Structure 1
């Protein structure tokens, strides 16, 4: 794995891009105020990916957009993908429960739409949740986060759609860009950090592994013992830690029930 960052300004604005070196080969990186610009070979296609975090202040937004327009002019023919929190909406329907004085008005929406047009980008279809950000008290929501892609990107990876997923402890929903179904193979073997804090964990794993008896060639034995150990760890986790997965799912479900109720105009 490889990565690049833009440090946060106090508690806001930090950006992180992480990728597999076998899939994306970085050739140029431009970190800036509110963006992390990457150019490289994405599955052998020379392309540009930009991670964006726009501050709330209109002057900062304009500075960010001008910097991105300048970079766009240098690489106009490449496939482009901008993703992140633009801190702007494109139309009135993309916000709920926010008073006029709390957001930029129609003129800023026009500026944001003008920026998208000048960059020659498309706001591709969104699937899932209507809003991507919710105020902590649940009384306001907006669609601040999105993917924007260029025409060459759509030609290279057609039928792209952005999926707005359910949020959990964050006030922003995660977004995923999908172009086609991809089989990522078997799920990885997972551990929890809290297990490593338990003094009995190491001894339990060692004794469980020693007591597992599988016959066959080396790789087969290793794979089957991991499968059995996974089952043992699930039982150990329930006894020692409790069913964290169930608790997390219940909390996420409760959060999203409230979000959906708020989207439909109900009270929280």
Structure 2
């Protein structure tokens, strides 16, 4: 921190981000109620921002909204909205989208709600942290909810390794699991810690085995697919020999087994996805069902039209004969 400016309606802290040397200006704003007083505050903040460099982050209770949708059961002063939007435009500020809640202020009885609290940043800050987000958190201690600016994308949950049922019959799967669990990692501590280390090591080994298995499966399918295409081309010209018939049957067998494994994996994935977000995808699935119904009706209509056409042709031929 290099300097602090205290004002009746804001607190400005200026300094440098540790480790990078980038200048950061932080405004904690509490805007007045009067429209004229807010307009004077916006002009002052615009002048301060234009006179200094670095990143700018403004947050707090601005006592103003940008759109009519940010108020519920509250009166709206269009001049206040216009002044606030003009200030954001003139100062070159950007607003992160709000997550968690739609409004940040709520009256005691919950009838009146508004989005009065927000974060405003300049393009330099946004370009450095484009994945940042603002989250509104409910609280019972105040009529204003908490707002949090998360500048770092944090995900403590490891990406799960999905094990499909078809893997259990694959060559080498059981050996990899047994070898990983029997491996001495040389770690000491509570049993749950040792088990976690073993599972992490098993995860790494299974990833290596999975990549090799998928590569071998691809190579295994390429040759039968090529042989099948060549033999089908020969079938159109001449009869097949016994050796070619055997190659044809074996190629179909290999491709059918691989297709059955893929179908099994697809079914398992669909069950996982449905169990995870089936309700969220209800609109999508209903649309798919309607499309299928429409396709079936269209095919039935075409079949009926085809039959009617054949009947007319038959009648004409019979009458002509």
Cα deviations by residue, 1:74-112 (Å, 9 ceiling, x for unpaired): 11x4110000000000000000011x3xx4x22211110
Once residues 85 and 149 of structure 2 are traced to their aligned partners in structure 1, the CA distance between those partners, rounded to angstroms, is 21
Offset of 1:61 from its aligned partner? 0.8
1:112 matched to 2:69 = no
SS in 2 for 1:155: helix
Unmatched 5+ stretches in structure 1: 1-25, 185-268
Matches of 2:72 and 2:154 in 1, distance apart? 35
Taking the aligned partners of 1:149 and 1:160, their CA distance within structure 2 comes to 11
Q: Which residue is 2:8 aligned to?
A: 33
1:178 pairs, out of 132, 139, 150, with 150
Q: How many residues align?
A: 154
Gaps of 5+ in 2: 157-321
- Higher alpha-carbon Rg: 2
1:71 maps to which residue? 48
Deviations 1:1-48 (A, max 9, x none): xxxxxxxxxxxxxxxxxxxxxxxxx11111112000111012332111
Asked if residue 91 in structure 1 is aligned to residue 67 in structure 2, the reply is yes
Report the alpha carbon displacement of residue 183 of structure 1 after superposing the two structures with TM. 8.6
Tell me which protein shows more strand as a share of its residues.
Answer: 1
Q: Is the 8 A contact 2:131 2:153 kept in 1?
A: no
Match of 1:81 in 2: 57
Correspondence for 2:131: 159
**Structure 2: distance between partners of 1:65 and 1:111:** 8
Q: Cα offset for 1:56? A: 0.8
Structure 2 match to 1:238: none
TM-score (norm 2): 0.46
Matched, 1:54 2:31: yes
1:124-170 Cα offsets, whole Å, 9 max, x none, are 11111000000112110000000000001112222121101112221
- After TM superposition, the score normalised by the length of structure 1 is 0.55
Aligned residue for 1:50, secondary structure, equals strand
3-state secondary structure, aligned to 1:159: coil
Computed over aligned residues only, the root mean square deviation of the Cα atoms, in angstroms, reads 1.7
- Structure 1 runs of 4+ aligned residues shifted over 4 Å read none
* 2:132–2:153 Cα contact (<8 Å) kept: no
SS in 2 for 1:164: strand
Structure 1 residue 144 corresponds to structure 2 residue 120:
no
Matched position secondary structure for 1:89 = coil
Higher relative contact order (CA 8 A, sep 6+): 1
Q: Give the whole-Å Cα distance in 2 for the aligned partners of 1:57 and 1:136.
A: 22
Separation in 1, partners of 2:70, 2:94:
17
1:55 deviates by 1.2
Question: What displacement does 1:173 show?
Answer: 0.6
Does the CA-based 8 Å contact 1:39-1:48 persist in structure 2? yes
1:182 Cα offset (Å): 4.8
Match of 1:127 in 2: 99
Query: How far, CA to CA, are the matches of 1:86 and 1:66 in structure 2?
Result: 14
